[in-house]
Structure 1
């Protein structure tokens, strides 16, 4: 059938051109990403409760919302976090593949059900439900060298001029400006003045609500249908105040005699007044900085009412300059590369309008690692293509023959991108890895055709056209079988669930598509090119190069004088451009002939080895069993893993000062770390953030984060881990700080940092959560973990010893003094914690009005005694009269996991251990140390890894089963395919052995390589078995057929295998971005193919001989020549005469008409049939030494 393609060469050429064209269209449309979108969709529920402690948030907001959200469809797990900064978040993680928009709607509906039961202030602040990818896309710093520009100015510049533009970028999530330095009208109350004027906080809030209002007076002269008027007038009112002087003049009290008490009178700074309990008229209006501002509203220092900041909870510093930090995250399903490119273009445009001294820095950009990794893989792709071409040339010996299989590579690979586009995939590291591995595979089929055509021409001296025609008839079945087997290897892996399943799916589809296209090319384009450009093997002709006239002296001198300098120049150029590989390329033509003779010698040696051992069935089985046992032993000793961490060019430092430390103290420690980090070689820039920790994205005055940006991989020799070790050594001089360094997660979207994430859960379901007991259990658990070498860098923010004071109100005394407990708590909440009333518009933005006491009146616990509250009689009652405080310890931040109180622990695997071993150690320690009622829970990538189980083993078995079933159909035998299957352990052992030798883990990358290896090793075995079956059908004995099959296929197998190994060498020795994944998958392929090629080709003929003896002459169905059972029983009697030999059939009776009179293949098939039917003595080999 396929030989007809030689009659339609234009069709074959156009088919390949169309594949290239469609592939280029697919490349133009495909998005670019680091990995496939495997992160679980996450819905964030953000809550604000100003002034509330973590306990209050948990009891009044988090628990009700958790109970309502719990069990939402497709939910994996839920994590809650509440801090004493008055903020809380609930993160709900869903199964990958679910619609993130539906997830948001489902969560929003459940929040709405519970919103009526939440505190009024929480509802007024608003509960934000949003979907976003958990990991950072970019981290921006806006800074200024102008000493007059502070962090508040930078924050609001970013908030007003930059953030609105970034939000409109397609694919952008919700940009976050770390901290909240937004403009706010700050009203600083002086409790002493308030007592003197007999003004309560309630009076201030009422005055704000009554006087700073939105008015809508209407229109004068509006048509009513009753009067006639030529004009109408719109009435306006100033509305809510947006200038400090307007708030200063708000009236708190007015007397008939003209005396007026204004808001500025009770906002006098404490250092600018003389306390007096009966100020005269005008006092406070002309004192200090509380007086009215000068004309024009000039900026004032220490103003009692000012345009200040909403909060002061985070300090950000970039290389010594104050900064505003912006965290960008992408929306689910968006293209990260496109979003980043758009952000960079937008920032370049906005930079043109920056004030003098202002600039921005991209502290973190995920595309740096993505681009570097993809560039590395593309570079490896080119190197692999060149190396494969060189290996093919070394074996085939001429450029024409090398060109044919080389052209199969771009057609197959580029055409694959069209299918990837149809499948909705992306250009990522997984699909590109598959492309690199596919180079050595897709060239195989073309090599088989070219080598077979060369062999046919050498044996028969046919023309390239006729030789190609006969070869297509002989090997098209083998090519189809190889293609089906190789494709079948990758079909089962597409059914693996979870994030790893997405990896397998994209890898499998990419490989299978490239292999199928290579099969199409091998049966269409390759034969046409063979017939078009190959030269015939004519040994007796001078033009064949074997009988050329000897060169004269002048010609020889010309070659020497011209050729030697030219070659030297080209060699120098190649060495300059590509180094030693370039020089090696130049030397290839000179070593090809000796190499070819060496291959012939090895082939003869191989044949000599086969003859005495192919019939030793026990030896063959013993070798296979030894390698299978080696797999078991090696796998038991080898480290297992999930997705290895990579050097992504950035390091996170997380620091924790003692509980109760102020933000200023934490900021000072952060700046110490910043100075140290900038001195380490390989560090490009450092951003320190005080008041924020990146692991849980929580806030606290004793938490800090440093984002350490590293130099480009090509500009430094030390890796990220080397830099971390140096940072840990140098940072030891920072006292009174707990400090750990982490790298980003291996896969974006699975947490904020790499390593493992585990939580200790309190499942005792006690009436009141015992956080002290949870802290004790957590400490003991971490202490036990620290003794295990499998884990290191253990870190937790759980601290139950944060200094706190409990307010105790004597209700009896409070009631006797006419004090409302509700008003007393609300009053202290405003004075100490602050609250906002209404808001105003400025710079086209909405800002809040905050009321709070001056800091001097709320520094220490005893300051509470000097605060007053107004009773029912209008008298000011001191809090000391009915309230006391009790010192205690508690949590500044409370986290929960699936409704249980939890303590989060972050860590990384110990040196020389994999993530799988670290998780196993954690589970063992948990089983040994955690008391009854306590358990552990996983999050992030650890959640998936803990549930991975033995899926890879099952999939591996399914892959082998698929290959076996296809081969059964190919050979119509259940035994012959076992010769292929039992040869696989040799190569698998080679992979395991080399992985363990170089210290790499059996992770996802290794498993992808193993699956690919099954197909390649099976392909080699199929080539030998296929030709052995053909030779057996031609009448050779089992032994001779096995040896002949190995001999005929030895050279092409070595060629294709070493071409594949050459393509993997750049991966196996990779450095820089993505090096661990490159080395793992490259090492897996090199080790497996090397041992499988060297040892496997010796074992496969023996396996064929073994199973050929068991299956020879046995058929699943009897044919029409079978005798009835009665005749067979009679024939078994001893007196029965021997049957007369059957006459030879005539040519007319046996020959069937062929579709091509020049095709001898039909003759072979007919004459082979009697041999196949006869199981007699020919199957019994006299050399059998089982």
Structure 2
């Protein structure tokens, strides 16, 4: 059956089908979203709860634990971690990728309701939850700044108007205001003046509540008109609060200004922000823009930048917008580089074909397969909801070398028959029939290589799904085109090819390849005459490949230079906020001094008073000499030279994995029922890990040296003085807890009124002697009359993993070390340190690395097995598939050696490259075996002569397809452009594997063909060596004369 005949005889139908493919493909391309990587949704839910004034230990035991017990009953829950701080608990629930996030949210809500009877009754509000996705990082950061307007006013404008206006841009999920500059009125009182006038702080709080009210006044309904009423119950500003009467002594009103003062301030005083450029510093509010899943990052960024000038006209001129970071710039640069690589690849592949054929017209015919295959793939990508991203475009770039193969094989066979004397139509019909099964085998067996990738679990499966589908579709379409368009064009356009005058270059190329084929034919007799040596060398290379695979450094998803990095800073647990601000400012100056700095957003007090955080944006990669990794290595020692500050700069991964907050890329978590064992072991292990040569930026989430003043109440004395524990606790929190006592409601926002002691009375424990509590019998009682003070060191945070107390140690890798080396070092140290009461496991990216590489070996086996099954079905043989796959060890060896030579890790990209080699290398075997099988049947040749003839006849198409694939992958192997360093390992593994295997496959596969043919004969006819008629065969090398 000739699959191509109808397409050859009906050229109009063929052309119209191809034009339709072109039309729908181009239309789809214009509508594909453009992103950095494929969309990966992590179903994650964060639960938040608060209990005013409760210690981290109380929050962990009374709030986190009851909730965690209920959450463990939810189906699909993969991991659960919690962080408990003073007064707050955050629980992160991460579900399996297959879990529907909305259904999971309903289950979480049910679990919260079930736990409410076990939670403290004095919680201000029930626990709340939000659906999040750790992989959804903001795509843009804008800075709002002003030289004249107060920052609280700027934040008001950002929250009330700007964030809402920007959120209306199509595709935007959220615009988050980062600034902590929200306006508030702070009422600060002097405890000495309170005591002198006999007024308790609780009286002041009650007076403020009653003096600021916002309630409806009712209505008046007359015969002809009705009225609504309102009163001036709200106090609008600090000046009004200063005049507020809080008590009356001997008929004289006592006002706020008599015992302290009210001032216009901000709600969170323990946060400081900076925005710095190369030569300027601003007070700023930052707007973080996140996109909806699957939306076009580049389009959203363009629409957002177009929206800013419109907003600028609607807000005060004093406010300035500055673009701090735009992920679309990196994506655009990266995509442009990949598209350039794609075009360069097409040029190289077409040039290779021209070099082999020596004529322009036969080169253009298979060359048409490339654009048609690519645009058809765009149509399928659009139907499946894919995007143009680094992985899908890399798949199409790699496919260029493959999609042309089938057309080259088809056209070369037709041209060969024309050179033997047939006319164009006859050669096209007979040549397509002769080679059609080979092309079908090559196409199907190459496509099935990518099937196992589709069934990979976890994030890696999601990440490479678009890659596998894109390249698989391109290969299928190329097979279709090679069986339809290519033979039709050959029958019409090569009519005068045989009779045309040969150009000198064409004659030269033909003579060159004829001589090369003749040389190959002579040298091929050497391995055929020494099969045992050839087989032994192959087995030796297979053993070396296994050893190399076990020994080579392994990595995960390669990092990318995205023109920015993060810096986490931390002072000692005892450090004050003012101390942190001073040292964070020193770190800012070091970062600002770097010549490649574009912008710096810095926060002190981000998570705690002793912590800080920086977003450092850099010039585009094309404008700087150093990579992000080199800049980080340069800045790390400078930042850590600041006395009293520890800095953790790192390049964030392309896709964050795991919901736990960390100061580095990799995490190792310890768990134990015993807090004492856990804390002691974590500190020892952290110290040991910091000395390992493979690790840097070692840090833990343990903050157990935070000083705490414990007020020990003598309950008998307190009771005799008319005080309850509730009154004492309430008085202490009002004095030192920045208590929110009332709220001012504006037209579009609301502001808190905060009551506290003056700053001078909140500095050290000695001020506690000035604190008085109002008793039930209306007397002021000094705190020291019924309480004593104890100072102790306690945890600043308490963490859980699962339901057990935990400590997480995070780390980055030193340059030159791989993650598998680092993990092995950590395991070795853990064996020395960990007692039986403490368990440990890798989490986040390191855990995913373990899972991925634990299954990749099986994935490779499944790939080979599927190819074997497909080839076995196509050839109706158990033996021929093994012959075709015999060159795989050579390709794997070449790939691994190439990675070692270029000092690259065997990361996920490189491993996918090796899987691709499985499909590429077997194509040569198919062309040899397919021709040899036909020669045995139709020309009655023995296996040895048949495979020799097949190799010589197929030498030119084998070389053409291999060189096309090699040069098609070469631009990726060079690692050119933005993100090229991440793609490099895949290209190097494919190029190295092809080069090495090509040199040996031409000689190894024929030997395996003969070897397995003899096994087949032995299985059919017994142990004696016989030919098809039962005649004994002479020893190898004596059954026919060498043509040489």
Q: Does 1:259 align with 2:252?
A: yes
Query: Aligned partners of 1:393, 1:11: CA distance in 2, in Å?
Result: 28
The Cα of 1:932 is off from its aligned counterpart by 1.8
Query: Aligned partners of 2:135, 2:972: CA distance in 1, in Å?
Result: 31
Query: Aligned partners of 2:214, 2:126: CA distance in 1, in Å?
Result: 19
The Cα of 1:524 is off from its aligned counterpart by 0.6
Tell me which residue corresponds to 1:1017.
Answer: 921
Tell me which residue corresponds to 1:651.
Answer: 565
Query: Aligned partners of 1:177, 1:50: CA distance in 2, in Å?
Result: 25
1:728-770: CA deviation from partner (whole Å, max 9, x where unpaired): 243354222112211111324556779643244332x24xx44
Query: Aligned partners of 1:119, 1:263: CA distance in 2, in Å?
Result: 35
The Cα of 1:908 is off from its aligned counterpart by 1.6
The Cα of 1:399 is off from its aligned counterpart by 1.1
Indicate conservation of the 8 Å contact 1:143/1:154, yes or no: yes
The Cα of 1:134 is off from its aligned counterpart by 5.2
Tell me which residue corresponds to 1:889.
Answer: 793
Per the alignment, in what secondary structure is the counterpart of residue 80 of structure 1?
strand
Q: Does 1:437 align with 2:398?
A: yes
Closer, same or farther: CA 134–468 of 1 in aligned 2, 3 Å: closer
Tell me which residue corresponds to 2:973.
Answer: 1068
The Cα of 1:990 is off from its aligned counterpart by 0.6
Tell me which residue corresponds to 2:515.
Answer: 601
Unaligned runs of 5+ in 1: 223-228, 269-303, 547-589, 693-698, 1117-1127, 1133-1170
The Cα of 1:145 is off from its aligned counterpart by 5.5
Closer, same or farther: CA 841–597 of 1 in aligned 2, 3 Å: farther
Query: Aligned partners of 2:527, 2:77: CA distance in 1, in Å?
Result: 60
The Cα of 1:511 is off from its aligned counterpart by 1.9
Query: Aligned partners of 1:469, 1:108: CA distance in 2, in Å?
Result: 68
The equivalent position to 2:683 in structure 1, one of 751, 772, 779, is 779
| Mapping for residues 753-772 of structure 1, pairs under 5 Å | 756-763=665-672, 765-766=673-674, 769-770=675-676
Tell me which residue corresponds to 1:368.
Answer: 329
Per the alignment, in what secondary structure is the counterpart of residue 1056 of structure 1?
helix
Query: Aligned partners of 2:1019, 2:457: CA distance in 1, in Å?
Result: 42
The equivalent position to 1:1091 in structure 2, one of 996, 1002, 1010, is 996
Per the alignment, in what secondary structure is the counterpart of residue 449 of structure 2?
helix
Q: Does 1:687 align with 2:601?
A: yes
Query: Aligned partners of 1:534, 1:1052: CA distance in 2, in Å?
Result: 18
Query: Aligned partners of 2:1029, 2:479: CA distance in 1, in Å?
Result: 34
Tell me which residue corresponds to 1:735.
Answer: 643
Unaligned runs of 5+ in 2: none
Tell me which residue corresponds to 2:717.
Answer: 813
Q: Does 1:701 align with 2:597?
A: no
Query: Aligned partners of 2:288, 2:46: CA distance in 1, in Å?
Result: 15
Closer, same or farther: CA 336–1042 of 1 in aligned 2, 3 Å: same
Q: Does 1:799 align with 2:703?
A: yes
Per the alignment, in what secondary structure is the counterpart of residue 1102 of structure 1?
helix
Closer, same or farther: CA 847–593 of 1 in aligned 2, 3 Å: farther
Q: Which has the larger radius of gyration?
A: 1
Query: Aligned partners of 2:418, 2:556: CA distance in 1, in Å?
Result: 51
Closer, same or farther: CA 641–684 of 1 in aligned 2, 3 Å: same
> Scaled by the length of structure 1, what TM-score is found?
0.83
Closer, same or farther: CA 901–648 of 1 in aligned 2, 3 Å: same
The Cα of 1:632 is off from its aligned counterpart by 1.1
1:684-707: CA deviation from partner (whole Å, max 9, x where unpaired): 222221112xxxxxx111111222
Closer, same or farther: CA 1044–430 of 1 in aligned 2, 3 Å: same
| Mapping for residues 308-347 of structure 1, pairs under 5 Å | 308-319=265-276, 320-331=281-292, 335-347=296-308
Closer, same or farther: CA 470–1181 of 1 in aligned 2, 3 Å: farther
The equivalent position to 1:8 in structure 2, one of 7, 10, 19, is 10
Query: Aligned partners of 1:209, 1:827: CA distance in 2, in Å?
Result: 16
The equivalent position to 2:835 in structure 1, one of 931, 937, 947, is 931
Q: Does 1:503 align with 2:417?
A: no
Indicate conservation of the 8 Å contact 2:566/2:650, yes or no: yes
Tell me which residue corresponds to 2:524.
Answer: 610
Indicate conservation of the 8 Å contact 1:142/1:154, yes or no: no
Indicate conservation of the 8 Å contact 2:164/2:175, yes or no: no
Per the alignment, in what secondary structure is the counterpart of residue 700 of structure 1?
coil
Indicate conservation of the 8 Å contact 1:176/1:328, yes or no: yes
Query: Aligned partners of 1:1174, 1:485: CA distance in 2, in Å?
Result: 33
Tell me which residue corresponds to 2:445.
Answer: 485
Tell me which residue corresponds to 1:634.
Answer: 548
Indicate conservation of the 8 Å contact 1:685/1:709, yes or no: yes
Q: Comparing 148-157 with 879-888, which one deviates more in the overlay?
A: 148-157
1:635-668: CA deviation from partner (whole Å, max 9, x where unpaired): 1220112212122211212211222222222122
Q: Does 1:720 align with 2:681?
A: no
Closer, same or farther: CA 162–46 of 1 in aligned 2, 3 Å: farther
1:555-589: CA deviation from partner (whole Å, max 9, x where unpaired): xxxxxxxxxxxxxxxxxxxxxxxxxxxxxxxxxxx
The Cα of 1:1089 is off from its aligned counterpart by 0.9
Query: Aligned partners of 2:295, 2:831: CA distance in 1, in Å?
Result: 42
| Mapping for residues 817-856 of structure 1, pairs under 5 Å | 817-856=721-760
Closer, same or farther: CA 1175–199 of 1 in aligned 2, 3 Å: farther
The equivalent position to 1:406 in structure 2, one of 360, 364, 367, is 367
| Mapping for residues 1129-1140 of structure 1, pairs under 5 Å | none
Per the alignment, in what secondary structure is the counterpart of residue 411 of structure 2?
helix
Indicate conservation of the 8 Å contact 1:177/1:327, yes or no: yes
Indicate conservation of the 8 Å contact 1:976/1:1111, yes or no: no
The Cα of 1:537 is off from its aligned counterpart by 4.7
Query: Aligned partners of 2:272, 2:427: CA distance in 1, in Å?
Result: 78
Tell me which residue corresponds to 1:158.
Answer: 158
The Cα of 1:383 is off from its aligned counterpart by 0.9
Query: Aligned partners of 2:351, 2:558: CA distance in 1, in Å?
Result: 32
Query: Aligned partners of 1:139, 1:895: CA distance in 2, in Å?
Result: 31
Query: Aligned partners of 2:1032, 2:118: CA distance in 1, in Å?
Result: 91
Per the alignment, in what secondary structure is the counterpart of residue 805 of structure 1?
strand
The Cα of 1:476 is off from its aligned counterpart by 0.6
The Cα of 1:185 is off from its aligned counterpart by 2.5
The Cα of 1:1174 is off from its aligned counterpart by 4.8
Closer, same or farther: CA 172–893 of 1 in aligned 2, 3 Å: farther
The Cα of 1:811 is off from its aligned counterpart by 1.0
Indicate conservation of the 8 Å contact 2:135/2:655, yes or no: no
Query: Aligned partners of 1:173, 1:805: CA distance in 2, in Å?
Result: 44
1:396-424: CA deviation from partner (whole Å, max 9, x where unpaired): 11111111111101111111122223333
The Cα of 1:220 is off from its aligned counterpart by 2.1
Query: Aligned partners of 2:305, 2:75: CA distance in 1, in Å?
Result: 38
Tell me which residue corresponds to 2:348.
Answer: 387
Query: Aligned partners of 2:1027, 2:243: CA distance in 1, in Å?
Result: 110
Query: Aligned partners of 2:737, 2:696: CA distance in 1, in Å?
Result: 39
Closer, same or farther: CA 928–348 of 1 in aligned 2, 3 Å: farther
Indicate conservation of the 8 Å contact 2:601/2:614, yes or no: yes
Query: Aligned partners of 1:1008, 1:1175: CA distance in 2, in Å?
Result: 47
Q: Does 1:75 align with 2:68?
A: no
Tell me which residue corresponds to 1:1183.
Answer: 1038
Query: Aligned partners of 1:618, 1:369: CA distance in 2, in Å?
Result: 55
Q: Comparing 45-54 with 1086-1095, which one deviates more in the overlay?
A: 45-54
Per the alignment, in what secondary structure is the counterpart of residue 798 of structure 1?
coil
Aligned length: 1031
Closer, same or farther: CA 754–464 of 1 in aligned 2, 3 Å: farther
Indicate conservation of the 8 Å contact 1:133/1:331, yes or no: no
Aligned-residue CA RMSD (Å): 2.8
Per the alignment, in what secondary structure is the counterpart of residue 950 of structure 1?
helix
Tell me which residue corresponds to 1:913.
Answer: 817
The Cα of 1:324 is off from its aligned counterpart by 1.8
